Amino acid sequence: GENVEQHPSTLSVQEGDSAVIKCTYSDSASNYFPWYKQELGKRPQLIIDIRSNVGEKKDQRIAVTLNKTAKHFSLHITETQPEDSAVYFCAARSVDSNYQLIWGAGTKLIIKP
Amino acid sequence: DVKVTQSSRYLVKRTGEKVFLECVQDMDHENMFWYRQDPGLGLRLIYFSYDVKMKEKGDIPEGYSVSREKKERFSLILESASTNQTSMYLCASSLLNQETQYFGPGTRLLVL
């Protein structure tokens, strides 16, 4: 079955700098890769996703890149702001998984003022 | 706007008690999920359901059962609570053929 590893577990960056979080997956049949953000005390919410037929997707300050050959995908946040502080989860979905998502362990992003 | 609600935000129970956690969604979603969230372990799937009265085991079903008698409601049952079931429990829902999951606010369960 699918396995998703996420790094780093904690990331501290200066406000205004960029942050990158990386995930690797094991199942080459996986075709959908979302990123969820969970602010302190709140529920996880989808912020961006990418499908396997696309290499990169952007939405304002956030972007996701996918390398199918290496089986990894990354979340990029530019010009970080205090409200970017949260736990970020990556996930992967395999065509055989009945719409289940396999989740990474999460990255706690800290934005230093 | 999708709304997923959970019956309690915080719950304290004693070892051996039977515990019911309820989740309700108002968007006619077919899929519903129960996860537990523990630091450093991410979201681990306990059970999911893709239709009324249907259920499938996730990665960590031991010690849990579920019930889906109505489309909008998915209940998680701890038959005999144990201290290692102390955790944050998150419910989620999604449309049948769509991947985006919408989460409830979570229930933080403490088993003493």
- For residue B97, the model assigns a pLDDT of 78
Beta carbons of B99 and A42 less than 8 Å apart? no
Q: A1-11 pLDDT, tens per residue?
A: 788 999 999 99
Nearest chain A residue (CA) to B46: A100
Query: Would you say residue A84 has pLDDT above 90?
Result: yes
Q: Are A14 and A112 in contact (CB under 8 A)?
A: yes
When pLDDT is averaged across residues A42-71 and rounded to a whole number, the result is: 95
Are A103 and B98 in contact (CB < 8 Å)?
A: no
CA–CA min distance A44, chain B (Å): 6
Using alpha carbons, select from A99, A107, A89 the residue that is nearest to residue A8: A107
pLDDT tens-digit map of B22-79: 999 999 999 999 999 998 888 999 999 999 989 999 999 999 999 999 999 999 999 9
Is there a contact between B74 and B54 (Cβ–Cβ < 8 Å)? no
Tens of pLDDT, residue by residue over B86-109, are: 999 999 999 987 889 999 999 999
- A40 exposure class (CB count in 10 Å sphere: 0-12, 13-18, 19+): exposed
Q: Are residues A73 and A30 in contact, defined by beta-carbon separation less than 8 angstroms?
A: no
Size of interface A-B (CB pairs under 8 A): 47
The pLDDT value recorded for residue B96 is 84
Torsion of CA A92, A93, A99, A101, to 10 degrees: -20
B43/A44 touch (CB, cutoff 8 Å), yes or no: yes
Distance from CA of B105 to the nearest CA of A (A): 5
Residues B7 and B107 sit within 8 Å (Cβ to Cβ): yes
State the pLDDT confidence band at A68, using cuts at 50, 70 and 90.
very high
- What average pLDDT does range A102-110 have in this prediction? 96
Chain B: residue nearest A108 by CA? Answer: B40
